[in-house]
Amino acid sequence: MAELTANINFPIDLVYLWVDGNDPEWQAKRNRYLDAPVVPTSEGVEAESVASVAEARWRECDELKYSLRSVEKFAPWINRIFIVTDGQCPSWLSAQHPKIRIVDHSEILDAEALPVFSSHAIESCIYRIPELSEHFIVGNDDTLFAAPVTPDVFFKDGGQPIVRLVRFNRRKALNKGNYTRVLYRMQNLVNERIGTMIPYAPHHNFDAYRKSDFEYCVNLMREAWRETSFRRFRHDDDMQRCFVSLYAIASQRAEMRKVGRYNRIDGFISKFLAFVKNRYATDSRCIPLTHPDFNKVIVKYNPLMFCMNDDERAADKDRERMVAFLDRMFPTKSSFEK
């Protein structure tokens, strides 16, 4: 394991959820369980009225390859990398790499629950990953590092996670999609149990957790988490991993950090100059694939990490632009590739 920063002497693993949604066999398996066809729309469609099955959730453009390149370049201290998937493995991945471990859904979910196609279901069981360290980071294949990061970006010296949150409009949450409705519920559940309302949303990027916090929160509402793990598609009654983060903040077991364009800029004068120059320094930035200039976003916001956000508004030409952009940003093969 690479040497960590001076005051952090514990291993930190990285967990990815990954699926090759282009695989015809996987598509056939998924479609056997759908109660409605997959219809490309901005919010997806609703199976059973509440299970989101938007096609963009599963589309594969090799983002994971570039994410791993960013890990090797900017976070080489990562201990082990667990890729959670459904009987699949990227064709380009060197699965025998000592840091890499492919984790099949069958290793963490109950056999009776399989197959599942919901990230909520899969994430509800990530704490069960064999050999997962106490401290770990969770990312998706579309999350990448844009600059060098150290372990103290994610954890305090004492091991407490640093939880990054963004603004969230609770007044409009129930009128939007499954994600916002579930997040609204998680905020309310934490408030009911601890008396602390945290009206913010996850920053949609790499998030830090402690396995013991995850286990504790699952034990708090064991039946609700179990029901989530048995739902094949997203549902408004799901539990979501942000409950763990919000509960940890409310119980003072984690530190909250609000993400904004001035995150890494101190002082009024420095912030004023950033405003005048239109050049900022944020922890993370979500870039929609429909944005006309990806590099301009990186230059403007100078993020530590970023997300290439695919949805049904994006076209194939946007995905081609994304791949070209990532290839320019990370042109060198990582040791994780064949």
Burial class of residue 328 in the structure, from the number of CB atoms within 10 Å of its CB (0-12 exposed, 13-18 middle, 19+ buried): exposed
Q: Who wins on pLDDT, 177 or 100?
A: 100
- For 283-322, letters b (16+ CB in 10 Å) and e give bbbbbebebeebeebbebbbbbbbbbbbbbebeeebbebb
Q: Of the given ranges (135-144, 147-156, 233-242, 305-314), which has the lowest mean pLDDT?
A: 305-314
CA distance 324 to 69: 15
Which residue type does 252 have? Q
- What domains sit in the chain, N to C, each tagged with a CATH number? 12-260 (3.90.550)
| Residues forming a β-bridge with 143 | 307
Helix, strand, coil shares of the chain, percent, nearest 5, are: 35, 20, 45
pLDDT at 52 over 60: no
Q: Residue 190, SS3?
A: helix
Q: pTM of this prediction?
A: 0.90
CA distance 137 to 12: 7
Burial class of residue 136 in the structure, from the number of CB atoms within 10 Å of its CB (0-12 exposed, 13-18 middle, 19+ buried): buried
- Mean of the pLDDT values across residues 108-113? 95
| pLDDT for position 51 | 38
Q: Residue 188, SS3?
A: helix
Q: How confident is the model at residue 41 (pLDDT cuts 50, 70, 90)?
A: very low
Token reading at 20: 């090759």
Q: Who wins on pLDDT, 316 or 240?
A: 240
pLDDT at 295 over 80: yes
Per-residue CA distances from 182 to 17, 86, 162, 202, 301 (Å)? 19, 24, 22, 12, 29
- Mean of the pLDDT values across residues 15-31? 90
Q: What is the pLDDT of residues 66-77, one digit of tens each?
A: 999 999 999 999
| pLDDT for position 27 | 87
- Mean of the pLDDT values across residues 160-188? 91
| pLDDT for position 222 | 96
- Mean of the pLDDT values across residues 246-269? 94
Q: Residue 314, SS3?
A: coil
pLDDT at 63 over 60: yes
Q: Of the given ranges (29-43, 86-100, 158-172), which has the lowest mean pLDDT?
A: 29-43
pLDDT at 149 over 50: yes
Q: What is the pLDDT of residues 210-223, one digit of tens each?
A: 999 999 999 999 99
Residue tagged 């997959």 (tokens): 38
| pLDDT for position 220 | 95
| pLDDT for position 57 | 53
pLDDT at 7 over 60: yes
- Mean of the pLDDT values across residues 12-35? 89
Q: What are phi and psi of 63, to 5 degrees?
A: -60, -35
Q: What are phi and psi of 140, to 5 degrees?
A: -105, 170
